[in-house]
Each structure stands twice: as structure tokens, then as C-alpha cells.
Structure 1
């Protein structure tokens, strides 16, 4: 596979999680989160994107969001649970992307804010239509998905190399979580 291949990175923020006395890393999903995660993945599956690799934070809420979401995809990608994604800064997330093998064309990252929002914003040198302003107005809510494309090697991922081609977030649910 050529380093000049067009690649896609899909950023999937975990679904809505409980606020509890539990350690932050161990916070589970709410009922709404358990409903939104597969809904978000059905949206992804309907887009025709089928990532070959999923990098998922080890946090309970990410693992709980990823499991049903992965089941909605036409072909389940290889999943790697990576401690570095939990509480990762923008620079740390770019480093994780830079380590991805160029054999991978489509990569999915299941993680957290503010890191995923910062990553989407930083990589998006361009966007289709009003996607970037919408992403920035929304603050990248739970169960949101952003898709960015770029040409080149994963090692070349840096600020401004990508194009934001899709952004989706579930409709806010005003019911109690």
C-alpha cells in the first residue's frame, strides 16, 4: 500500500457516562449511553466506512460504547485497547496516529474529550460545507463521530493535513439520564 493512499480517521467519542463516586476510569454508561452507542455506529455503518483497526481507550465507558457499536459494523475491525488514549492530549493522540501502520487505510479511535475535539479541530485544515463550525459549536458531544481524510502516511499526520468530511452527533435527549 502506497504512503500516498487516501486515509480516513474516524473519531468516536464514548457514549454518555454516569457521574458517580467511582474512579473516573471506571465510570459506566448511562441508559442513554447504551442506546446512543449503537445508534452512532449504525450511522457509521451506513456511511460505507469500515475501519480495519479500532484503537479504544481502556476506560470502562469507551469499552462499553465500543462493544455494541462494533457489532453494528458490517465487518468488525481488529480492536486494540490502548491506555494512552485515556486522558490523552492533542499531542499524545497525534503520536498514536503517527504509530499506525501504513497497511491501515481506515482507522477508528474511540476516546474522550477534550482530546478528540482538539484532534478533529487540529487536523481539519479544510472541511466540507459547514462541518468544522458545526463541530466547534457542538463541542463534540458524547456519541459524536467525526471523519477526516488525508493523503499520505500515518507518520505525516500533523496539524492541518486533513479534511473534515463528516460530523454527526445524536439529537440531544432531554430525558433524565
Structure 2
């Protein structure tokens, strides 16, 4: 059973005078949130045998600070398809994950990550976690999905959302998020 952890990039700076959205760096709160989420996932013993990420600067910096908290640096596969991707494109990336991996981390952007969770996890009035994702998937939040089969078996309504954790859930100083 594969486990896919989706990490939205941490809070970026809109005040930095960069010319392209792709080049926006993290702000101080984003750096702290990424490190906090890394510490949390390590404490929960969530390991990864594959990492795939958008090559945008804010994702690269999110991973740098995430690794500081996680205590281990993992070499990501940079995939430009993830940058500002739709849920359908992200699902293609999931289908292309290496068959030998079972625990993948995907780091990217909204609204694609949120839409991917909502596509894969069936709607249910009893699923409070899915309801939280539907309300808002803030920066540096993580969602963990599982389903039967392999990566190619990921399909609409076929996954379970086993975790949804926001930085503010771990440190009140990191929320509420306004993005």
C-alpha cells in the first residue's frame, strides 16, 4: 500500500523584488514552519523512499528548512510539471512515481495539492480531515494519503486521508495563515 505525503511549500515573501513568481523566496515565518513540519514528520517516524518536488525557489528553500527539522537530507527528483500544476497533472506525476518506492513525498503548490487531495479522497460527512483540507490547505501543511495497489492505481475517490497537519497545529505562533 503506497503512502503519499503532500507538502505545500512554506510561506513565501511577496516583498522581495523578484521578477518571476517562480523565484519568490520564503519569508522568516515560512522557514520556521518548514522546519517545524520536518521535526513533526521525523517524530512521527514518517520516512520517505522517494521525494519529488517543484523546482521553484520557494519549494527548494522549503525543503532546505524541512531537512533541518527532519534531521536528514533526501535528494529530490525535480519535476517542473509540479509547478502550479492542476490536480490532473499532479496525478500524472503520482502515476509516474518509481514502482520500487512505497513512501513518497511530493512538494508543491496550491491549488493543485488541495485539489489532488479532494480528487483522490471521497467526500464524506464523517471525514473531518477531508473537510479541513476543503476549508483551507495552508502553506507548509502536509496531507498523507494511502490506497490499495501501486502508484498507477491512484484514482478519483480511491484514497484515504490519514493525516492533515498544519504548522499552526504544532505551534500557535505559526498561524492562522492568511494565504
Tell me the TM-score normalised to structure 1 length: 0.88
**What is the distance in 2 between the residues matched to 1:89 and 1:174?**
25
Pairing 1:17-166 to 2, within 5 Å after superposition: 17-20=12-15, 21-22=17-18, 23-73=20-70, 75-125=72-122, 129-137=127-135, 139-166=136-163
Gaps of 5+ in 1: 1-5
Q: What SS is found at the alignment partner of 1:151? A: coil
Q: Counterparts of 1:129 and 1:87 in 2: how far apart (Å)?
A: 27
Structure 1 runs, 4 residues or longer, greater than 6 Å off: none
More helix by share: 2
Report the RMSD for the aligned CA atoms in angstroms.
1.9
Q: Which has the higher strand share?
A: 1
Residue among 158, 173, 176 paired with 2:175:
173
Secondary structure at the aligned position of 1:136 is classed as helix
Instruction: Tell me the distance in 2 between the aligned counterparts of 1:153 and 1:108.
Output: 15
Q: TM-score, normalised by structure 2?
A: 0.87
How many residue pairs match? The answer is 169
Q: CA deviation at 1:173?
A: 3.4
Q: 2:8 — aligned with what?
A: 13
- Which structure 2 residue ranges, 5 or more long, are not aligned? 169-173
Offset at residue 68 of structure 1 (A): 2.1
